[in-house]
A = this chain, B = another copy of it.
Amino acid sequence: MDNHSVIGKSTPRTDYLAKVTGQACYTADIKLPGMLVAKVLRSPHAHARILKIDGSRAMKVPGVKAVVSGFDGYGVKWGVFRYTQDHAMLPTDKVRYIGEDVAAVAAVDEEAALEALDLIEVDYEPLPAVFTPDTAMAPGAILIHDQYAGNINVHVHIDVGDVDRAFGESFLVREDTFKASGEAYAMMEPYAVVAHYHGGRLELWMPNAGPHVRAKALSNLLRIPLDKVNIRHINSGGAFGGRSEVSPGDFVTALLSMKSGRPVKLILSREENAISTRQAHDMIATVKTGVRKDGTVLAKEFKVIYDGGAYSSTGPIAASIPFYVYEEAYRFPNLRYDGYRVYTNKGIRGMYGCHGRAFLAGNEAQLDMIAGELNIDPVEIRIKNGLKTGEETATKSRITSGSLGEPIEKAAEKAGWKAKWGKLPQNRGIGIGCVAIMTGFPMGFRSGSSCSVKLNDDGHATVTTGVVDNGQGNESMVVQIVSEILGLPSGDITLVNADTEVTNLDPGAYSQAATFVGGNAVKKACEDARRQIIEIASEKLEEAVENLDLRDRTVISLRNSEKKMPISWITREAFFRAKPVIGLGSYIPKIDFDREWVSRPFGQMAGTYSFGASIAEVEVDEETGKITVPHFVTAHDCGKALNPMVVEGQMEGSAVQAGVAAITEENLWDGGFLLNPDLLEYKVPLACNIPEIETIIVESGDPEGPFGAKEGGLSVRMNSHSAVACAVSNALRIQFSELPLTPDRVMKMIDRKKEGEDR
C-alpha cells in the first residue's frame, strides 16, 4: 500500500493535447530566417571507388548557397566504439551501399537544390559487391573496409562454464537454425534535421533519442567544441532505437550550414529514409540446447550472424543485445555465444527496439520442441529455468528485483494457457515468448543523469533535465515525479529538457534509462528541494520537519492540519534569504564500468532487469497461409507503473510492433537494391491486423528504481515475435524456421508438414 497522490495513477500525458490538435512543433515545422533547403546526392552503386566529386557546376545554379562532399569534412570517422570507427558520414574513398550520402547542396528552394544535385559530377569506378554475410565472409571476398578481415565487423565470443561437457551430460540436445529478414523502423516522421551554425556555435533541431551522445559525436566529426554544439528540444515522431546516434544527415546539414552561413533544413522522403537511415539487421541464428530429463537447461550454444550492412553504425551493440535479453531471462550454467556482425554492401543497420527476432523466437520455439519431447508444459519449462532476484546471469549480472516466473504465471493465467495448451482446434495455436530487459547499460560517465529543479516565486517549479521523450511519455514521467514530491499540480511545473546547452549529461532514451536513471535524478532533485522548503516551513510553522508534508501547493502539518502555509510563501522567503529553493539530484546506475561489449563482457551490466512474458493465440488459414492474431496477453514487470495508462500504451504498441510485425514486416532486397522502401510495399500492421490485447502490469518494486520503477514495456517489444512464432508453430504442429511468417512462408511450413505426414 502506498499513499502516493500522483504516482501510480493513470493520468493523461502532458503532450497529448498538443499532439492530437496538431499544435506540437516537429522539425519540419521549423522555419528560420534565411533557411535553405538541403538535398542529398546518393550513390547509385553498391560498391565503387570515388574518383572525383566536382560541385563547381552545381554551385553556379542560381539560389545555390553551398555544395559539400566528404572533402569538406575533417576525415574523422565515427563509431560507437573505438574499434568500430569506420563511418566518415560522407565518403571520400568509396561508396559502400546504394543510397549512401555522397554530396549535398543547400539552396533557397527545392527546385534549385534538385537542379544543382544533377550537376554535381561524381566519377565512380564500380567494384564487386557482396550482399549476404555468406558471400562477404567467403575466402577471397572483396573487403568493404580494408581493416576488417573477412568483412567481419565485430565478433563477440562468450564462453561460460564447460559447454561441451554439459552437452555430453544432457538427456536431450537439439540444434536448429532460424532466419529472419530485417525490419524497417518505419517511424511516422521520416529523418529530418535543421542545422544552424552561427558565431562558432552549431544548433541542431531533430527528432533524436540521445542529445548529449549526438552532440559529442558531432563535436568530434566537425571539430567544434562540445559546449558549442547545442542540440535543441523538439518533438519526435517515433524513434524505436533508430535515432539514438549521429547520422549522415546531421553531419551533411551541419556542414552545409557551416559553409553557407545560413540555417539549413533537410527532410528525407519516405524512400530516402528507407534506403539511407538505419534499419534492423537480417540475421541467421543457430541454437543448440542441452537439457536434463526434467527440462532443466544445462547448456546453450549460439551462433548468430548479423547482416551488418556497409558501416558499423550502432550495430555492434545490436549484435549482442538479443543474446543478453535472453541470458538475463534464463539460467544457463554453461553457455557459448558467437555473434558475428558482417559487413555487406547494403544500407546501415543499427539498434532496433524489436531486434533479434530470429534468435529470440528461435530459442523459444526450440524450447517448445524440447518441452514437447519431454512432455513438459512450455510454461513450466520456462518457469523452471527462469531467473529470479538474487541470482546472477551467466555473464555475472545480479538480478536485483523480480523474476521471470511472475509475468509468465500471470500471463498464462489470464490467457487460459492450461485450458488451451494442446487443446485448441486445428489451425489454432498458442505460444509464449519471454525475455528480460536491461535498464541502463554502460555508456561510461554518460550512463548517469542529473537534474535541477528551481522553485519560482509563485511557488511553481521549473525542472531541467536531459531526459528526452521520443513519444513514450518520458516528459510526463518527469512531471509526475515532480508533482508527487513537491505537491504541485502538473500545470505548475515547467519542464526544460533535452537541450544540451542547459541540461546536464543524460544517457537519453538509450538503454531504457529514462525512468530508472533520469527519473531517479529528477526524484533526488525534488527531494532536495522538498527538504529546503520543509526546513523553512518548520521554522515558520514551528513544527518538526518530520511532521510536515507538501500537498496541493501547501506545506502542511501531518499532526495539525491548521498549521499550513502556501509553498509560494516559502519560496519567496527563500529568495529574501538569498537561498532560493534549488534542488539538485544525480544518479548513475550501479554497473561495472569496466564491462566492455567485446573484450570483457562480464560484470554488472545494468542497473536493473525487467522481466516479461507474452502469449499469443493465432489462427492459420490453411488455404492462403494468412495468419490472424485474435488474442494477445502480455505481462511486463515494470517495477512500478508510475502511470499505468502510459505503461499499458507502451505494452500495446510493442505487442503490435513486434508481434504483428512477425507476420508482415521485412525489408526485401534484390542484391543491394531495397525493393520496398515505401509504406505501400512495406507492410506495417494496420488497424485491422491488431489483436485484442490484454496487458498485465507486474510490479516487483526495484530497490533502486524511482518509486520502484524500471522501464515501461520493452520486454513486450522483444518477446511478442516469439509468442506469435511459437503460436504459429503450435498451430501447424511444425517448427517455424524463418521470419516473418508471411503467407508464402506459412504455405511452405504447411507443405513441409504435409511432406512429413506423408512420409
Q: Which of A181-231 contact B (CB under 8 A)?
A: 198-199, 216, 219, 225-228
Contacts A31-B31, A580-B450, A582-B450 given; does A226 touch B501 at CB 8 Å = no
Which chain B residue shows the least CB distance to A228? B494
| Contact status A31-B33, CB under 8 Å | yes
- Decide yes or no whether A592 CB sits under 8 A from chain B: no
Check A23 for interface membership: any CB of B closer than 8 A.
Answer: yes
Kindly state whether residue A502 has any CB partner on chain B within 8 Å: yes
Copies per complex?
A: 2
Are A582 and B504 closer than 8 Å at their CB atoms?
yes
Distance (whole angstroms) from the CB of A569 to the closest CB of chain B:
11
B-chain residues with CB within 8 Å of residue A572 when the two chains form the complex: 445
Q: Is A448's CB within 8 Å of the partner chain B?
A: yes
Name A23's closest neighbour in chain B (CB-CB).
B199
B464 touches A502 (CB 8 A): yes
Contact A579 B575 (CB under 8 A): no
CB–CB A227/B593 < 8 A:
no
Q: Check: A721 CB closer than 8 A to any chain B CB.
A: no
Pairwise interchain contact A491-B225, C-beta atoms closer than 8 A: yes
Q: Does A32 contact B (CB under 8 A)?
A: yes
Residues of B within 8 A of A496 (CB): 501-502
User: CB-CB < 8 A to A18: which residues of B?
Assistant: 199
A535 at the interface (CB under 8 A from B): no
Q: In the assembled complex, how far is the CB of residue A561 from the closest CB belonging to chain B, in whole angstroms?
A: 26
Given that A456-B227, A458-B225, A462-B227 are contacting pairs, would A578 and B587 also be in contact in the complex, using a CB cutoff of 8 Å?
yes
Q: Are A578 and B448 in contact (CB under 8 A)?
A: yes
Using Cβ atoms and an 8 Å threshold, which residues of chain B touch A199? 18, 23
Given A227-B456, A501-B496: A582 and B579 within 8 A (CB)? no
Q: Which residues of B contact A341 (CB under 8 A)?
A: none
Q: Which of A30, A31, A227, A462 has its CB near the most chain B CB atoms (within 10 A)?
A: A227
> Which of A216, A454, A582 neighbours the largest number of chain B CB atoms within 10 Å of its CB?
A454
CA distance A230 to B572 in the complex (A): 19
With A198-B23, A494-B501, A496-B502 known as contacts, the answer to whether A575 contacts B445 (CB < 8 A) is yes
A576 and B504 CA atoms in complex are apart in Å by 13
Contact A225/B593 with A29-B33, A198-B23, A586-B578 known, Cβ cut-off 8 Å: no
Given the known A-B contacts A227-B492, A227-B494, A502-B462, are A586 and B579 also in contact in the complex, defined by CB atoms under 8 Å? yes
Question: In the complex, are the beta carbons of B226 and A456 less than 8 A apart?
Answer: yes
A17: nearest residue on chain B (CB-CB)? B199
Closest chain B CB from A28 CB (angstroms): 11
> Number of A interface residues, CB 8 Å?
50
With a cutoff of 8 Å between Cβ atoms, the chain B residues found around residue A66 in the complex are none
Contact for A460 among B226, B491, B505, CB less than 8 A: B226
Name the CB-closest residue of B to A212. Answer: B457
Bits for A430-464, please: 1 = Cβ < 8 Å to B, else 0.
00000000000000111010101010111010101
- Produce 1/0 per residue, A12-37, CB < 8 A to B: 00000010000100000111110000
Q: How far is the CA of A505 from the CA of B491 in the complex (A)?
A: 20
Assess the B575–A448 pair: CB atoms within 8 A: yes
Contact with B along A494-527 (1 / 0, CB 8 A): 1010000110110000000000000000000000
Measured in the bound complex, the distance between the Cα atoms of B462 and A579 in whole Å is: 21
The 8 Å CB contact of A504, one of B216, B492, B580, is B580
> A58 on the interface (CB 8 Å rule)?
no
Q: Which residues of B contact A494 (CB under 8 A)?
A: 227-228, 501
Chain B residues, Cβ within 8 Å of A29: 33
Q: Known contacts being A29-B33, A445-B572, is A580 close to B505, with CB within 8 Å?
A: yes
Task: Tell which of A198, A225, A445, A576 has the most Cβ of chain B within 10 Å.
Answer: A445
In A381-411, the 8 Å CB interface with B consists of none
For A593, give the chain B residue with the smallest CB separation: B576
User: Which residue of B has the minimal Cβ distance to A450?
Assistant: B580
Q: CA A29 – CA B198 in complex, angstroms?
A: 14
Q: Tell which of A460, A573, A587 has the most Cβ of chain B within 10 Å.
A: A460
A456 contact set on B, CB distance < 8 A: 226-227, 505
* Given A452-B452, A496-B501: A227 and B458 interface contact (C-beta under 8 Å): yes
Which residues does chain B contribute within 8 Å of A588, judged by CB atoms?
575-578
Residues 27-71 of chain A: 1 if any B CB is under 8 Å from the residue's CB, otherwise 0?
Answer: 001111100000000000000000000000000000000000000
Residue pair B226, A458 in contact (C-beta under 8 Å): yes
- Does A728 make an interface contact (CB < 8 A)? no
A584-B587 in contact (CB<8A): no
A13 to B33, CA, bound (A): 27
Residues B460 and A227 in contact, CB atoms below 8 Å apart: yes
Report the Cα distance A396→B462, complex, angstroms: 39
State A749–B576 Cα separation when bound (angstroms).
52
Specify the chain B residue showing the minimal Cβ separation from A460: B227
- Say how far A728's CB is from chain B's closest CB, in angstroms: 46
A262 to B144, CA, bound (A): 52
CB within 8 Å of B: which A585-618 residues: 586-588, 593
- In the complex the two chains form, is B445's CB within 8 Å of A492's CB? no
- Which of B501, B575, B582, B584 sits near A462, CB closer than 8 Å? B501
* Contact assessment for B586 and A505 in the assembled complex, using a CB-CB cutoff below 8 Å: no
Q: Which residues of B contact A582 (CB under 8 A)?
A: 450, 452, 504, 584
Bound complex: CA of A496 vs CA of B230, how far in Å? 12
Task: Report the bound CA distance from A670 to B579 in whole Å.
Answer: 52
Q: Which residues of B contact A576 (CB under 8 A)?
A: 444-445, 448, 588, 593
**How far is B448's CA from A199's CA once the two chains are assembled, in angstroms?**
32
The 22 sampled A-B contact pairs (Cβ below 8 Å) are A31-B32, A31-B33, A225-B458, A225-B460, A226-B456, A226-B458, A227-B456, A227-B458, A445-B572, A445-B573, A448-B576, A456-B505, A457-B505, A496-B501, A502-B502, A504-B582, A505-B580, A578-B586, A578-B587, A578-B588, A582-B584, A584-B584
Q: Which residues of A contact B (CB under 8 A)?
A: 18, 23, 29-33, 198-199, 216, 219, 225-228, 444-446, 448, 450, 452, 454, 456-458, 460, 462, 464, 491-492, 494, 496, 501-502, 504-505, 572-573, 575-580, 582, 584, 586-588, 593
